[in-house]
Amino acid sequence: MSFQLERYFDYAATTPVDEAVRAEMLPYLGEAFGNPNSLHSWGQRTRAAVELARERLAEATGWPPDCITFTASATEANNWVLSQFPNGEVGPFEHEAVRAPALANGYTVIPNDGLNLSPIASTTRVPLVSKILVSNETGTVWRPNAFVELNQGWIHTDASQGLGRVDLAALSADFMTLSSHKCYGPKGAAALITGNSIGPMLLGGEQENGLRAGTLNVPSIVGFGLAAQIAEERRESDWQHAEELRSILLAELEPVSDWQINGVDEDWIGTEERPIWNVPHILSLSFLGVEGETLVIEADSAGFAISAGAACSSGSTEPSHVLTAMGVPSEWIRGTARISFGRYNSKEAARALGQFLRVSLDRLRQKS
């Protein structure tokens, strides 16, 4: 099969590495191999590159550089902060990288009515409230400090899908998780950002101010820094591109019967003054009478990459806990496909995907 990048519509799972990012990384996979904790020139060259990446990430997010600790993945960062503050509260729409460690550390799931959260009344201070920023399944955005009681403690938000899509500098949170490979950077780099005191995650060295021992993944961190800078610089143009692709696809699906968009109402796209809104980059569609995984397989045979849900749970037979919490009936969840738009998709490919889905849905429904 030939892989046409313009037909890759699974940007919520991972993004291609930007060409400029790849070029920035190359020296640190070759001659610039020094350990950034070494005092000699080889080490100081890579140390300077790591600190430049930290500064770039700071500029992209509005946080001071000394608040940024690099990790190997967003999952690692999420586990770190949640383990430090047990018995907190967690949103019902979380990625499994938050949901699993939260439940393991005694967290209570915040009740909800549809997309609206209902803060839990408590006479004691809750140590931490963790809520996803941008849903990896539907693109729905929950402002971190919305739906929070005054007696609740620190706020953590998993913003892995937010960099390059949301103005992170305008948000208020105490802990924020970011991921490189969701914003056209390499895999193997992420960050936990916080201005608050937190205990170390790994012991055994003085790296990252003693908070995370272990030799740094310099090439991936270097790539992450530039990817974050480019993502912020291109945030508005990438948003407009995603909006256009989304509109083209939905227009092609208009003749199809029995389907729905999961998430917020279309009128809420981009209305950032609301406590809940939606980014155009991630589109969750449910089609009655078909199986989402079948659509994914058929799309793949036609050269399109889409998803039936979160990549981390693609092997699970359980219905999405996110869509279940949103109140989507199980018969609709079974027919869900996630389409996520990105920088390298073309209008022609979006139109072709819509046309393919229309024909495929008609054929699958006639068979059933």
Distance (Å, whole) CA 181 – CA 13:
9
Sign of the dihedral defined by the CA atoms of residues 101, 105, 106, 112, in that order: negative
Distance (Å, whole) CA 309 – CA 313:
7
Q: Are 212 and 203 in contact (CB under 8 A)?
A: no
Sign of the dihedral defined by the CA atoms of residues 146, 150, 151, 154, in that order: positive
The helix or strand, by DSSP H or E, that contains position 66, with its residue range, turns out to be none
Instruction: Find the Cα–Cα–Cα–Cα dihedral 74, 75, 78, 84, rounded to 10°.
Output: -130
Distance (Å, whole) CA 138 – CA 161:
11
Instruction: Find the Cα–Cα–Cα–Cα dihedral 269, 272, 276, 282, rounded to 10°.
Output: 40
- 149 Cβ contact list (under 8 Å, min separation 6): 119, 120, 121, 122, 126
What 3-state DSSP class applies to 186? coil
Instruction: Label residue 68 left, alpha or beta by phi (over 0 means left) and psi (-120 to 50 means alpha).
Output: beta
Give me 110's structure tokens.
């915040």
Angle at CA of residue 177, ends 71 and 35, nearest 5°: 20
Active site residue 312: yes
Catalytic residue among 100, 120, 312, 364: 312
Sign of the dihedral defined by the CA atoms of residues 205, 210, 211, 217, in that order: negative
Angle at CA of residue 144, ends 143 and 148, nearest 5°: 105
Residues marked as catalytic: 312
